[in-house]
Structure formats: C-alpha cells, structure tokens
Structure 1
Amino acid sequence: MDGIAQEQASDWWEVEALYDLCFAPGRSALSSYRLRDGVEPVAALCLVWRDPDAILGGAIRVWPVRVGAARVLLVGPVAVHPTRQGEGLGAFLIRSVVEKAAASGEERLMLVGDAPYYSRFGFDRLEGVEMPPPTNPERVLGIAVVPGAWDGVQGPVLRDLD
C-alpha cells in the first residue's frame, strides 16, 4: 500500500483535524494524553498515509513512556478517515509501526485498545502494567518486538521526559 511517509511538521494540523474527526471532542482528556503532555513523539514512527491526490487518509503517532526503568513505546492514536475505513489502512499503519520499531532496535510497544482487534498484530494483555485511571486494565496491550522484552516489566506507565 503506497502513500506512507513519516509525519512532517507541515502535516500536524491536518493530522490533528483527522483525530478530531475520528475521536470524541474530549479525546485529549484521556489518560494516554496525560502521558504525552510535554513529551515529543518518536518522529520516525509517526506516520501518515496519503492517497495519490495527497489527501490524508490515515495517521498514527508513537510516544515514549516508561514502565519502571524500561523504555516502552506507546502506540496511538491511530486514525483512518471515515471515507477510507474498511480498506485495511489502519492495519497497514499498525504493521508499519511494528516493523519500523523492530528495525530501529526498539524492544516493546504498548497501546490501549480492543484485544480482539489488536491481537492479530501480536498485541496481548499486559499483566501488571498500569495505565493512569480510568483506563480499563483489560485494554492495556503490548507486544514484545524482541522476544521476552516484557518479562519482568511491571508498574505504572509514566511520561518519558528523557
């Protein structure tokens, strides 16, 4: 699926508008947004997809966080424009992030989402990893990009200010 690129500064407002369209207006009140405040995203893993006419169809961002002493990448939000949903674009963006994270040497990724959807990409429920409330623990999912990377990683998820 051609059309994927790293998000550029010039894409920011358009991506924000897509997130506003796809999510509730109060999206920034979610606990995951508190982890992003004052933290720069992982630029190499923030991706956009545009059609041949350069119209934004989807976007995904990734943020560094900490669980104990472990660096973890928090995936999301991922959004697909309503006119492009059902085409596999969201899955393409998620797979692309997992592949690029692995290629760049990252060890583990996490997200908050529906296990039945994200399990097909290798994400499983994380036991002992605590997102800020009111996050449902059943929705805290992770994938070990490096086998065993989640072994022994537990505790609250905190902003990574390094």
Structure 2
Amino acid sequence: MQIPSITLAIETGADYWEAEALYDLCFSPGRSALSSYRLREDVSPIADLCWTARDPDAVLAGVIRCWPCYVGETPVVLLGPVAVHPTRQGEGIAGRLIYRVTQVARKAGWSRILLVGDLPYYSRFGFQQLTGVIMPPPTNPERVLGLSLASDSWAGIHGPVRKADDCILPR
C-alpha cells in the first residue's frame, strides 16, 4: 500500500477549529486541564512554529503548535501539543512536523526547545531529559525533555518554567 503524500504548511486562522477538533480527538477535551496548558493560557503561540499536515484531499492528518515560555529568565520554545489523526498514526507524520518545527526554530534564532513527553519516542529527534527544569505540577520530572538547537544551549539553564508574555524574542 502506498501512503499518500503529505503537505506541511503553517497553520492559519482557517485551520484553527479543525486543529482543535483533532486535538480533542487525540487527547480528549479534558486536555486543557494539563499543567502545560497553564503556560499557554492568554499567550499567543509562535505563529511560524505552528504547522499542519494535510493529505492530497486537504484532510487534516496532523498538527503541531509551539508556545513561548521561560525557564528562569531564559526564553525557550514549548513544543506541543502535536497530534496525528488516529487513522494516520504510524506514517511518520508527527516526525515530519517535529523536524519542520526544529528546523524553522533554529533558523528563527531559537536555541532551546522544551516539551513534556516520552523520552524513548522524542530521543530520536535529539531530545534529552532535563534536570533542574521544573514544570508546573503535576508533571513527572522524568518527562521534562529538551533539545539544544545551538551547541549545548541547555547548559546552565535551570529553574521553574513560567508563562511568557507576547513580547518574548528568540535567543
């Protein structure tokens, strides 16, 4: 069986409700109760780091969003959520979205990406467990992962993760 091609594009306002429905399908409407959502409330996502994946019929197969936040006083990208429609999982769509976001973030001048997830899955993209980076509770510290987009950019970065304002700049 041949898998149809997937087109990646920056998420637009026209994609918003379809993307929200996909997030609800994959994570349930209760997803907003997670601690990482406290970091997203009243904060605009990083527009060039929010992407969709569509098949040739323009059906939404996957979506990823990223948000600015701080670790201590250091600005970082908070990756996620990333979702792939259940009928499209296992096709590498999430991987394509994650690789695209990391490439675009690097070119935009960001040095670090943070996420909460499973190390065995995200390590293939270069993410490593972070120590000393404290997500709002309840978050399992073993699931706090980071990716350096510049040489060893997480070195010396520690402290609580907190919400950003809309004026955060990449570093």
Q: Counterpart of 1:16?
A: 20
Q: Counterpart of 2:40?
A: 36
Q: Which among 52, 58, 78 is matched to residue 54 of structure 1?
A: 58
Q: In structure 1, list runs of 5 or more residues that go unmatched.
A: none
Q: 1:85: Cα distance to partner? A: 0.6
Q: Counterpart of 2:115?
A: 111
Q: 1:2: Cα distance to partner? A: 4.2
DSSP 3-state at the match of 1:26: helix
Q: Counterpart of 2:83?
A: 79
Q: 1:86: Cα distance to partner? A: 0.7
Q: Counterpart of 2:138?
A: 134
2: CA distance, partners of 1:147 / 1:126:
15
Q: 1:105: Cα distance to partner? A: 1.2
Give the % identical residues. 59
* TM-score, normalising length: structure 2: 0.93
* TM-score, normalising length: structure 1: 0.98
1: CA distance, partners of 2:71 / 2:18:
31
DSSP 3-state at the match of 2:139: coil
1: CA distance, partners of 2:31 / 2:160:
21
Q: 1:25: Cα distance to partner? A: 2.5
User: What is the CA RMSD across the aligned residues, in angstroms?
Assistant: 0.8
Between the two proteins, the alignment pairs up a number of residues equal to 162
1: CA distance, partners of 2:64 / 2:96:
10
The answer to whether structure 1 residue 123 and structure 2 residue 127 are counterparts is yes
Q: Which among 97, 104, 111 is matched to residue 100 of structure 1?
A: 104
